[in-house]
Chain A
């Protein structure tokens, strides 16, 4: 299997006239955790949302260039298909408030009208919840509403919901910024488990998180991809002065 799974080629995105992501070229290897960091407003979230074409849902948003998934351009594919292949977890936990925990995990099938036998559904739910280390905590309350869980559990439920679709790539948009430190570390431990089966791209504000969890780190500044390297290399010996300034806290 080819090692590069996602590749951006001269990727640009805009909000109206506002050029937010500028000419990004990046290659993301399979089964790795990639951290995307940078100061607020540097375009990292916009870039992430471009990968599964969530960017274009915002009125006035456009994109140019290519995002390749396994060598195929996602801009040419139907967005629905892209989003089945590339799952996403958001900043704030957003389980469907009208659905039970069980239905939340299976939501990608149920709400898309994909019919599965009960045994199969049970298997997917258990498997997905186990993957996010939530099964033991919720196995007796699967029929309760997803919103009854704590914030950290809700976020893991949202990860389970994305994992249940068996995507190839998982995108995380500052997944722990709304969580307390204990929930944060639980989610971070998950990253190491999840990368065995998926490729993870994580946008984060938190440099320590990038250093702790990722194999490779990309640094965005003013819409440009300034530096992209192995995380260790990046944090010990950054090549660009802007990266160095950011890491040492000269601006944030």
Chain B
């Protein structure tokens, strides 16, 4: 074997090794974060931590129940607003690839995706909080604006992947447009659309910035959506910047719960994509 060939084989092996090394290095940050948060948070989590609400400083046994309930309510309301609009917009973009409206709407969605979350928070503050006061609803609207582009994009991408001949088959059977969409296109793309929705929920579950001046936070367990409400990320923020050690410990516990929630969402997303995938 000539030296030239040996050199090339060596270079190829080196390059391959480099890609493997860098690919595995992507895992390091996640594992490091997971380990650290689990170590710091696992001892704080127990039944009373999950079922109790905030206690004044110095009293032992404060919990995160009010933040858990608040997060769930606010995320649910955000999803109720963003998911239908996002899916319908995604359908329009998938069906009308070249119209003027599609161009502008796609551009807006792309830009919206890049708007910093704190800016969305400020805008919602001006629109809703200034006239009506701090409320869970305003927090949901801010989060819905953040969810929207993710749902639109994932719906559009899913529909683009469906072959046109399925749609033609439906039209050739004399189906009107709405039935083609509802009975053929959506069921065929359901796994992709749902996974987009779940990922968007996972994405907003940890958002803190837009909630700072919308949902604001609250010490009590409340389900009144017209009033301020506590959420997990905001609770973590509040506890973590406090000077008290027992509050800081609670922040670690709450971080772990939030992390578990997001991981579970990702896990279920994968499950859904695999189970409901329509074989084309």
The 10 A-B pairs of least Cβ separation, nearest first, read A83-B174, A88-B172, A84-B174, A94-B165, A108-B173, A111-B183, A94-B169, A98-B187, A80-B174, A98-B278
Could you list some 5 contacts between A and B, CB below 8 A?
A: A80-B176, A97-B166, A147-B279, A158-B169, A162-B173
Contact residues in B for A107 (Cβ distance below 8 Å):
173
Query: Could you tell me the distance between the alpha carbons of A112 and B188 in the complex, rounded to whole angstroms?
Result: 17
Interface string of A52-63 (1 = CB under 8 A from B): 101001010000
Taking CB atoms and an 8 Å cut-off, the chain B residues in 158-181 that contact chain A are 163, 165-166, 168-176, 179
B173 and A111 contacting across the interface, CB-CB below 8 Å:
yes
In contact, A83 and B168 (Cβ under 8 angstroms): no
| A165 neighbours in B (Cβ, 8 Å) | 173-174
Contact call A83/B173, Cβ cutoff below 8 A? yes
Whether B172 and A81, one on each chain, are in contact in the complex, defined by CB atoms closer than 8 angstroms, is no
Closest residue on chain B to residue A92 by CB atoms: B165
A19 at the interface (CB under 8 A from B): no
Residues of A within 8 A of B184 (CB): 96, 98, 111
CB distance from B243 to the nearest CB of A (A): 57
Nearest-neighbor residue (CB-CB) of B189 within chain A: A98
Q: Are A81 and B188 in contact (CB under 8 A)?
A: no
Q: A96-B188, A97-B279 are in contact. List 5 more A-B contacts (CB 8 A).
A: A59-B98, A81-B174, A94-B169, A147-B279, A161-B169
Q: Which chain B residues in 223-280 approach chain A with CB under 8 Å? A: 278-280
Complex contact A90–B187 (CB within 8 A): no
- The answer to the question of A16 belonging to the interface, with a C-beta cut-off of 8 Å to chain B, is no
Query: Considering only CB atoms and an 8 Å cut-off, how many residues of chain A contact the other chain?
Result: 30
Which residues of chain A from 41 to 96 have any CB-CB distance to chain B below 8 Å in the complex? 52, 54, 57, 59, 79-84, 87-88, 90, 92, 94-96
Residues of A158-190 contacting chain B, CB below 8 A: 158, 161-162, 165
Q: Is B169 in contact with A83, judged by CB distance below 8 angstroms?
A: no
| CB of B23 to closest CB in A, whole Å | 33
Known: A111-B184, A145-B279. A161 touches B165 (CB 8 A): no
Chain B contact residues: helix, strand, loop or mixed: helix
Query: Which of B163, B166, B172 makes the CB contact (< 8 A) with A52?
Result: B172
Chain B contacts of A95 at CB under 8 A?
169
Q: How far does the Cβ of B176 sit from chain A's closest Cβ, in whole Å?
A: 6
| A109, chain B: closest CB distance, angstroms | 9
With A94-B166, A94-B168 known as contacts, the answer to whether A112 contacts B279 (CB < 8 A) is no
> Given that A54-B168, A59-B98, A111-B179 are known contacts, is A97 also in contact with B280, CB under 8 Å in the complex?
yes
Q: Are B174 and A112 neighbours in the complex by a CB distance under 8 Å?
A: yes
Distance between A62 CB and nearest chain B CB, rounded to angstroms: 17
Q: A59-B98, A80-B176, A98-B188 are in contact. Are A54 and B171 (CB under 8 A)?
A: yes
CB-based contact B168/A90 at 8 Å = yes
For B166, B172, B183, the residue with the greatest tally of chain A CB atoms inside 10 Å of its CB is: B172
Q: A residues within 8 A CB of B171?
A: 54, 57, 83
Q: Is A113 an interface residue (CB 8 A)?
A: yes
* Cα-based distance from A106 to B279 in the complex (angstroms): 20
- With CB as the reference atom, state the residue of chain B lying closest to A104: B169
Enumerate chain B residues within 8 angstroms of A108, measured Cβ to Cβ: 173-174
Closest chain A CB from B132 CB (angstroms): 43
Cβ–Cβ < 8 Å partners of B165 in chain A: 90, 92, 94
- A80 vs B177: C-alpha distance when bound (angstroms): 10
Q: Could you tell me if B280 and A147 are in contact, using CB atoms closer than 8 angstroms? A: yes
Chain A, residue nearest B186 (CB)? A98
- Chain B residues near A97 (CB-CB < 8 A): 166, 188, 278-280
- Highest count of chain A CB atoms <10 Å: which of B174, B188, B279: B174
Residues from chain A with a CB closer than 8 A to the CB of B174 are 79-84, 108, 112, 165
Chain B residues, CB < 8 A from A92: 165
What's the Cα separation between A98 and B279 when bound, in Å?
Answer: 8
Which residues of A lie under 8 Å from residue B179 when comparing CB positions? Answer: 111-113
Bound CA–CA A112/B175 (angstroms)? 6
In the complex with contacts A96-B184, A97-B188, A98-B187, A90-B169 CB distance below 8 A: yes
Q: Return A200 CB to nearest CB of chain B, in Å.
A: 15
Contact between B173 and A112, CB atoms less than 8 A apart: yes
Determine the distance from Cα of A97 to Cα of B278 in the docked complex, in whole angstroms: 6
Chain A proximity of B130: nearest CB distance (Å): 45
**Which residue in A57, A81, A96, A145 is a CB contact (below 8 Å) of B169?**
A96
Shortest Cβ gap from B148 to chain A (Å) = 27
A59-B98, A145-B279, A147-B280 known; A111-B168 Cβ under 8 A: no
